[in-house]
Amino acid sequence: MSRINPGGAAADPADAGRDARETLLRKRSEIVTKVDQLGAHDPAEVANLGFGKRIGDATSYAVGRMTDAYQARTIYATVAEIDQALERIDAGTYGRCTSCGLAIPAERLDAVPSAALCVPCSARPARSQAVR
């Protein structure tokens, strides 16, 4: 599934975009299903929580729910990356680094279809959003 030829131009932009879109949509569907599974819990479990002298079970449940919430947040970030990649396909910029504008190698796009950055740009430390 070669998307970008060595000269930097898409080998067949229509095919590359169509293949990438199908891959991204399939991945997005899998992720949303996983989030739904993480969010599902038995209401009876919550109703039976009690924090008496023995809090072990309730603590284990709470830690499990916090872990699920963290995983869901991480997964939602991945869904956002996929949505942005779909927008780049629509805009005709998919396969170009959003930082430097150079072509992202096909191998990278095969491994990470939602990649917005080429390898050199992704290796750079992220700039802090904090005001100093």
Check residue 99 and report its DSSP letter: T
Q: Please report, for residues 55, 75, 93, the alpha-carbon distance to residue 22 in angstroms, rounded to integers and kept in the order given.
A: 47, 19, 17
Query: What is the predicted pLDDT for the residue at 23?
Result: 94
Residues 6+ apart with CB under 8 A from 115: 85, 104, 108, 109, 122
Query: What is the predicted pLDDT for the residue at 73?
Result: 82
Query: What is the predicted pLDDT for the residue at 65?
Result: 76
pLDDT tens over the chain, length 132 residues? 444 444 444 456 567 778 999 999 999 999 888 877 766 655 555 555 555 455 566 677 777 778 877 887 888 889 999 999 999 999 999 999 999 999 999 999 999 999 999 999 999 887 654 544
Query: What is the predicted pLDDT for the residue at 80?
Result: 94
